[in-house]
Chain A
Amino acid sequence: MGFISTARVKSPWIMHFETGSCNGCAIEVFAALTPVYDLERFGILNTGNPKHADIMLVTGCVSFRAGRVLRNLYHQMPGPKAVVAIGVCALTGGIFHDCYNLAPGVDKVIPVDVYVPGCAARPEAIIAGTVMALDRLAGKAGPPNIAPGEPRRGLEEGRVVEIAPGNSDK
């Protein structure tokens, strides 16, 4: 591994964004950040600011409104950057899957590198997912997973354009 890749892998700064639903996974992310797990051992810092972050941890079912925010935040992160979707809601919408106001899954809005399943996901799983996302920072990962924004029920009010990937720089 090169000099720069090493530095990137050794210093992943994260930010966490909760897009809706029950906050259970969000609580687990906070749990992972406590001194019990001491993520600073790996150089991981929680920044709370997309401009300083390398990895975004996303939890929750993505409501349209949160999807808009999510896209802005992703846009404001400097590359190289990685996204970890945490919990079934963030993966597929979970039990909210067919709701009228949702984009079912983070990957409908922004590219996702690692999926961490669970309801709620355990801190250990979250940490493991974050470590897997380091491959993206090291430049070893393949193309990220993007699910095309297919028109869905409840999306007929002109909202589709807002959340479809590829329009994110508008």
Chain B
Amino acid sequence: MDAWPIALAILLPVATALLAYIFRIRAARVLAVVVMAAGLMVSALALAGRGSFTYTPESVLGLPIDTLITILDLALLGYLVWIGLSMRRLSVVLLAGLQLAGLGYLEFWLRGSTPAVLPAEPAMVIDRLAVTMNLIISGVGSLVVLFALPYMDEFERRQKAMKTRQPRFFLFLLLFLGAMNGLVFSNNLLWLYFFWEATTFSSFMLITHTGAREALANGLRALWMNLLGGLAFVLALIFLARNAHIVSLRALAGWPLAGWPGWRGLPPIGSSPDLLLLPMGLLCFAAFTKAAQFPFQTWLTGAMVAPTPVSALLHSSTMVKAAVYLIIRLAPAFRGTTLGILVAVIGGFTFMAASTTAIGQANGKRVLAYSTIANLGLIIAMAGINTPQALSAALLIIIFHAISKALLFICVGTIEHGIRTRDIEEMEGLFYKMPMTTIITVVAMTSMMLPPFGVLIGKWLAIEASVRFPLLLPFVVLGSALTVVFWSKWLGRILTVSYHRKFRLEKLPLLISASMLVLAAAVVVASFGIASVFDFLAAPVVRGQFGIAGVVTPRADLATGMGEFIPWPIFLLIVLVLLAIPISFSRVKPADIRPPYLCGENAGEKPGTSFYSARDEINLTRTGNYYVTGVFGEASINRWAYPIAVGLLLLMIGVIKP
């Protein structure tokens, strides 16, 4: 049976989750998770090694899958309603209740009353886009889960937890992985919707993991925002089933709204194309909430109260990517329409606004959160304009952002446990305390903003792609310039170091250092071989839609016809500079060392940082970073960002109304 990798990708995490929950022994959990990680990677590689194919599973353990998913879906929504009731949160009850009603209408009323609701479309389509997402989820996701094992031990030691809650934690973390894999394989929109809601649900359970008041509040905020998106999703489903008889993603995306000649889907029965704009817009709205685009960004920044593996897995590399994945899937349908441009502008605006906000943040995880939001915005913007180059840019950013950001979260989590804070201002001198973590963090941060790394090459493609879209251009230009600002501030802070004769590498648990090193190596190797990565993962997707790849890779570089990016000379220079490290360390003798200039008042045990002030008191120098919260603080940004973002969403109503 050739479908074993699919079954493995979805069911293995679920089974492991249940095992980890039932058998509450640490050793068993570790073993199960390690085996699962290996299994997921094997399945992902097996899928990547094959061409595109479709697959419709009929039943699992004797149960028809359609029925099973319907039952699970209803149960899930019912449970969410119950959560809303028990937490006394009206918005959650209402939104989940409405979805429940909508889904019931869809499943029982519509399915019974209209014939041929289900055209002969496969339930799952495994094409190169799904394979790419699967590689990210299974590869990066597994590494994050491995990192979570030692991290959670330390986390509970810090929290002084009386009773371990790790089984529950890993239950939802692994369920989430399975749901994500299911999501990217699903072609049936009802299935997709189920997995979509499952990620919302696990995300809520993981954000509220500690049960602290702040965690509950932020979890509920995440829940209602995502449920709002879910409601839009259900409405889109009802609309599609009633008016267009479409329940498959491929058919929906294949329907050209602007009369594009390259269309290859099934024509829906008796529907006019413009009618599809409404569900399309609703689905985009659902994606905006899940991708935390302005004005929904607060759920993602609030979710940073969760343990770091949750942030790494859900809020950087996978869950939020589900949203951009959906938009990329829908993109062929709205290419060239006003809706497409509007989606691009909303994404671009978020890219700029989130990058701006990140400058004013002193909390490391919040900077990461805003940077994630910004990159999602850029991906959505690229999907909105959807030219061959834009799509290439979107795919490259998805791939490289997932690796780099997961690595960054792992680093910040390790740093937080090492120095007991995630405040950037407190990270001074990290280079001496944790040299290895610092170096890897530097690699990760550099890879987010500078050449020759993948994310920057994605941005380069994005700029070249948006040249013909004047509405989007200013956002992309400003956003990419501002990105450099907040990264270099942070980078500078952790790289500050006084002279020490010896630097000793810190001791980290094996799984933490292993996941860090593997991801760091992945960043460097993938960036070096970006041409191959592009050819293998992104080019087939672009070619499938446009017939051409838009970007060619003549000599291990990327060329667009208007420009070209050659990474290897920059790598060469970086290697040259790195070669100077051992020379420098052996050449600099203690006698060559002078303390920094402090007007000659250097004093005390640390002449580099302390000085004689008035009355010969010894004081420490402290130099903070510029945060300029008056301009870049959340409050100041939101004052103009919220009205614009809400205005853009309202504009969308005008565009999509039939």
Contact = CB atoms under 8 A, between A and B. Distances in A.
In the complex they form, whether A and B have CB atoms below 8 Å apart is answered with yes
Contacts of B64: none
A32 interface: no
A69 B600 contact: yes
Contacts of B600: 17, 50, 68-70, 72-73, 76
A125 B247 CA distance: 94
Interface string B584-600: 00000000001101011
A51 B600 CA distance: 11
A74 to B, nearest CB: 9
Interface residues of A, number: 12
A75 interface: yes
B601 interface: yes
B318 to A, nearest CB: 49
B392 interface: no
Nearest to A78: B594
A51 B594 contact: yes
B601 A69 contact: yes
A51 B597 contact: yes
A51 B602 CA distance: 14
A124 to B, nearest CB: 28
A53 to B, nearest CB: 11
A49 interface: yes
A108 B304 CA distance: 60
Contact of A49 (B595, B597, B612): B597
Interface in B267-282: none
Interface string A56-95: 0000000001001110110110000000000000000000
A76 B595 contact: yes
Contacts of B597: 49-51, 76
A135 B601 CA distance: 30
Contacts of B599: 69
B599 to A, nearest CB: 7
Interface string A39-50: 000000000011
Contact of B594 (A65, A68, A69, A76): A76
Contacts of A75: 594
B370 to A, nearest CB: 37
Interface in B601-626: 601-602, 612, 616
A120 to B, nearest CB: 23
Most buried by A among B594, B600, B612: B600
Nearest to A71: B600
Most buried by B among A17, A72, A76: A72
A70 B601 CA distance: 9
Contacts of A65: 612, 616
Nearest to A66: B600
Nearest to A75: B594
Contacts of B612: 65, 68
Nearest to A74: B600
A73 B594 CA distance: 10
Nearest to B602: A72
A51 B599 CA distance: 11
A1 to B, nearest CB: 28
Contacts of B602: 72
Contacts of A70: 600
A18 to B, nearest CB: 12
Contacts of B594: 51, 75-76
Nearest to A50: B597
A67 to B, nearest CB: 10
Interface of B: 594-595, 597, 599-602, 612, 616
8 contacts: A17-B600, A49-B597, A51-B597, A69-B600, A72-B600, A76-B594, A76-B597, A76-B600
Given A49-B597, A69-B600, A72-B601, 10 more contacts: A50-B600, A65-B612, A68-B612, A69-B599, A69-B601, A72-B602, A73-B600, A75-B594, A76-B595, A76-B597
State the 8 A-B residue pairs at the shortest beta-carbon distance, nearest first.
A69-B600, A72-B600, A73-B600, A76-B594, A72-B602, A69-B601, A49-B597, A51-B597
Interface of A: 17, 49-51, 65, 68-70, 72-73, 75-76
